[in-house]
Structure formats: C-alpha cells, structure tokens
A and B are shown apart, each in its own frame.
Chain A
Amino acid sequence: MIPAAFEYTKATTVAEALAALQAGGEDAKVLGGGQSLLPVLRLRLNAPSVLVDCSGIDEISGIREEGGKVVIGAGATHHAVMNNALVKSSVPLLAQATATVADPQIRHRGTCGGSMVHADPRADLPPVALALDAEFQIAGSGGQRTVKAAEFFQGPFETSVGPDEILVSVSFPKYDGWSTHYEKFNRTAQAWSIVGVAAAVRMDGGKIAEARIGLTNVGGTPMRASAIEQALVGASSLADIEAAAARASDGLAPFADDDADEEFRLHLARVLTKRAVAAASGLK
C-alpha cells in the first residue's frame, strides 16, 4: 500500500532535526532507518503530517568509546553495529543479538536507536540494553538528558523519548571479565523473538559470582529477571543453572498470540534462560 501524504525534511544535524520537529508540531515524526516506521505508514496504522529524516545525521551515526563506555550512535545501522570491532570485543552480547535481527537487507537500513525507540515487545536489542544497564542520551529543545534503561521502556511501543525529542545515542558499560550469550527462539530465519533471553555472567573459581538477565516478548516491555540473577549466584553446574532458571517464569504474565500461548511462553522463558546462562558460563 501507499502511505498517506506527508511533508519530508532531511536533517543533517541534531539541531536541524529538533527545529524541524518543533516546526512540524505534534504530528511530526522522526524517520530513522524506516524499517519499522515505513511498514506502519504503508499499512496506514499511522499517518504523520511531517517526517524528519534523521538517517543522514553523521553526529548520531558513529560508534565510539567514551569514559569507559561504548557509545552507539542512535543512527548506527544494525549492520554497522554487529560488524564493529569495538562492539564485538567490548559488548559482544549486543553484537550477537543484533545479528539475529531480521535479515541482511533490513540490517543495512534499520538502526540501533530506531529499534530502541520503536520498543516493539518482540525486539531483540531492548533486553540487552536492560540487562547491561545501558543509558540513553536524549536531545530536546532544552538540551540533552540521560535516561537509564530501566526507565526508558515504558510500555509496548512506548519509551520516554518525547514527540519533539531525538534519541542521540545508547551507551553500554563494558563488563570486563564477564561472558555473555543471547538465546532467541523463533521459527523462521528472519523474525522477531517469540521469546529471547540476554544473559551476562561473571565467573569466579568455577562458580557464577554475578549474573544479569534480560527477557524479551514475555510482557509489554523487556523484563529484567532480578530474582533469577540472585538465585544464580554460586551456581557451579548445569543442574544449579536449571534449578535457578526454573523460576524464570515466576511473576511473568505473558500474552498469547499466533506464535505462542501463555504456557508455552513461560516454558520458553525457563528453557531459554537455562540455555543462555549455560552458554555464557560454560558450566556443564
């Protein structure tokens, strides 16, 4: 289908983009890689009057290290993120999860920032941001503010980025000495998670000393599994991991859809948590 008519502005700086959003009023919308927004516009689920194209803003497209963190420009494409040497060595969980996003064509256009702001409950990058306590830099007319991952995701397709604001970057702390794994269950090569689990562990003397777990698509927002993180401390075998992961579904109230009913989603949460932690820790 063909989108409803809109005005189009191409921004080359953040300042230009913010001015265009202000001028465009309530109905203006940021266009990132377009891989979620354009399908939505084609299906006419949304019809903004102004699109501000931010896909060519160099200042939000880079990937760099700053203050011990890896800073991913919101406009960095999935392709750029998963092939970036710094991301692969310092935030391998993000590189691994990004490589499972959609397919090569979509990864050439779609962006890390676009995926975060779109906040699709099935998306693979939000649980990584949550598990690793990433921070989001957001620019608005009043300047820049920083929001923690735990506050960023507010509901399905809802984040703390306001309509007249732009996500500038996402910064990931480096977890030196930790090992990580992203475990995703889906049915076809190019598809969102039916359930996905992002796991990071720090090992000490053959035991798990600390763990961080983020789950996707078991609720309206990504979930942090704090109770299991606690239960995993001290685990030294696959049986220990299994016992802790058996609680991964506690307190979750997932939804049913064509892919999975509630019970199957809870089952996947337990099984995938076990697999993700086993792979990250190397415990047998």
Chain B
Amino acid sequence: MTSLYDEVSPAPAADVPTKRVTINVNGEARTVDVEPRLLLAHLLRQGLKLTGTHTGCDTTSCGTCTVLFDGRPVKSCTMLAVQADGHEVETVEGMSSASELHPVQEGFKQEHGLQCGYCTPGMMLAAKALLERNPDPTEDEVRWALSGNLCRCTGYQNIVKSVLWAAQKMRGQNPEA
C-alpha cells in the first residue's frame, strides 16, 4: 500500500552528490553540475541567468514558467533539472534573434497582448509550439492551447488576437489587412 502523505521524514538526506548534465538551451550545449532537487526553472533563472522564464506559483497552475522541452510546452517548475539531461530546452530568450522579433513576439506588441508582462514569456512559448504544429488555428484552438497559462491581468482577449496575428504573419499573409 502506498500513501503519498506519509509523515515527512524530519532528517534530510545528507551528502547528496551533484550530477553533471548537458542540456541544449536555446541551441547551445550547457554543461552544469546540479543537485537532483534543483528545479529546471531555478537552473534556468539562477544558474544560467535566463530570467525570462518566470515563476508565479507553487502549485503547477500558472504556466508562466513554460519552456519548450524537445519542442513541447512543459512547466519548468515541475521538472527536475537532471531530467533535462540530453534534451533540448527553449526559453523566451531563444525566440528572437539579435535584430528581429519572432512573429509571436511581434503579434503581442501589435495587438497589445501584454499588460504587466508577467505571464507573457509562457504565453508566447505555448503559442509558438501551437503554431509550429497548427499554422492556421481557430480561436478555440488558440484558447485550448493556452489553457495552461494564466494571465493575472486577465488580458486574454488581446492575447488570443496576438496569436492569431502571428499565425497570419507566419502564413505569409498581411495581419493588418
């Protein structure tokens, strides 16, 4: 019989060794020594100084920590950094080049898809993953794809518009037309 809420063992395990992992972050192989309990979100923010990945909750609810893990959106606060060994991670810093915004970023700018901006990195990465698989989504499909991302400013209407703007642009159409 297993029960998750057994008594918490009072003494933490001593002398826990670190593990060496190599993670492809935004196209670059990064090798780091991590304690097994280190969350991927904390490695990205504190270890690799990629502070575009935000954290907003302790309950795997908000989605602001979303990164693309082998191309699919996951919540980086609910993965261990050791689990990313040998895998690809994309963060918001990997979306644009030095001179050009990603069409999704452009869409958020054009359609005012952000207010405080706290949820924005996660929103944009979830949207990018959607558009890579489905270049011509319906409004419902956009809402479904973003259902794991909460916006505390509640600007959902414009966020959805931003993603549809980006979809048009990526299909080679003029979103302003």
Contacts and interface: CB of A to CB of B under 8 A. Distances in A.
B5 A39 contact: no
A108 B149 CA distance: 14
A55 B16 contact: no
Interface stretch (A5-13, A65-73, A254-262): A5-13
B72 interface: yes
A8 B75 contact: no
Contacts of B16: 5-7
B31 interface: no
Interface of B: 1-6, 8-9, 12-13, 16-17, 19, 35-39, 42, 58-61, 63, 66, 69, 72-75, 77-80, 82-83, 126, 143-145, 147-149
Interface stretch (A45-53, A194-202, A208-216): A45-53
Interface centre among A8, A40, A162 (most CB of B within 10 A): A8
B8 A55 contact: no
Contacts of A163: 2
B59 A108 contact: no
B2 A109 contact: no
Contacts of A36: 4
Contact of B9 (A27, A39, A40, A160): A27
A2 B5 contact: no
Contacts of B1: 154, 158-160, 162
A49 B9 contact: yes
A270 B144 CA distance: 28
Given A6-B36, A43-B58, A102 B12 contact: no
B58 to A, nearest CB: 6
A38 interface: yes
A267 interface: no
A27 B2 CA distance: 11
20 contacts: A5-B16, A5-B37, A7-B13, A7-B36, A27-B9, A34-B80, A35-B78, A38-B60, A42-B39, A44-B8, A45-B5, A48-B9, A50-B13, A53-B82, A104-B145, A105-B63, A108-B73, A157-B5, A159-B2, A161-B2
Interface in A158-192: 158-163, 189-190
Interface in A214-230: none
Given A53-B83, A106-B60, A159-B2, A45 B37 contact: no
Given A39-B58, A45-B5, A154-B1, 4 more contacts: A6-B13, A46-B6, A109-B74, A158-B2
Contacts of B12: 4-5, 47
Nearest to A45: B5
Contact of B74 (A6, A53, A108, A159): A108
Given A8-B19, A105-B148, A39 B59 contact: yes
